[in-house]
Amino acid sequence: MKNRVIGIMGAMPEEIEGVVALLSNCTQTTIGKRTYFSGQINEIETVVVFSRWGKVAAATTVTTLIHKFNITELLFTGVAGAINAELKIGDIVLGKRLIQHDMDARPLMPRFEIPLLSKTYLETDVSYLSIASNAIKALLETKSLHTVIGEQDLIEFNISQPRLFVGDIASGDQFFSKNEQKQHLISQLPNILCVEMEGAAVAQVCYEYKIPFSIIRTISDVADDHAHLDFPSFIKKISSTYAAQIIKNIFSAI
């Protein structure tokens, strides 16, 4: 049986800083303009990396994790724009299914279907979904985030009682900053909870290599005309702490 090695990816440098701080015996390896941080979290071999933005960058990074670092499972943590009206800034979305909203090979095959795989949605392994869900619920129920994030920062983003949502996440090489984009996506994929730029690409590579994965997203904005204003401030003040706390709780549960 292969030794367990968990890969952790984030699409922003700030999203992995707190996670890298969790590593013991940390070493660095640079490959393809990315720095891979290797060490242990709770005595489990772990590799953490900033993937860069977009589906190509994310797919390249997870492939390197598989081939060069022999990961056996993958966690992706980052931010996303809310599509579902129930979501608020600070809520957490755990991907049950991932879809590429910009995949369109019509008329050769139905819209959103991945060529050659005959799949539209990529599903998260049920056991991994359960582990991540329980770990995140415990984090939210104990209000642990309120002890590590300043009160003023929570007030700025109106975060009081963040919630966990489990469902569909859409990925594509677009930053959503217009109401028109959001409404168009809802008309095409009404069950989508949130939108981001990497998750479905990571899910596809993991599916093809039979690597279990979890895609975890914190809502940074509501994917509308104000998204570009909220995003940088949220990344700096909130999401890096969320990422570290979520990963810490997951590792305590596995």
Question: What are the b/e assignments for 142-157, b being 16+ CB within 10 Å?
Answer: eeebeeebeeeebeeb
Taking the CA atoms of residue 49, residue 55, residue 59 and residue 62 in that order, the dihedral angle to the nearest 10 degrees is 30
DSSP letter for each residue of 79-96: EEEE-STT--TT-EEEEE
CA angle, 240 then 243 then 245, to 5°: 110
**Is 153 a residue of the active site?**
no
Q: β-pairing, 24-31 with 5-10? A: unpaired
Q: Which residue type is seen at 179?
A: N
* CA distance linking residue 233 with residue 220, whole number of Å: 9
Find all residues with CB under 8 Å of 151, minimum gap 6, and list them.
Answer: none
Angle at 88 between CA 82 and CA 89, to 5 degrees: 85
Task: Take residue 179 and report the two structure tokens written for it.
Answer: 């109401």
Q: Is 192 in a helix, a strand, or coil?
A: strand
Catalytic residue among 113, 168, 196, 221: 221
Quick one: CA torsion of 237, 240, 244, 75, rounded to 10 degrees? Answer: 150
Q: Judge whether 221 counts as a catalytic residue.
A: yes
Any idea which residues carry the catalytic annotation?
A: 15, 221
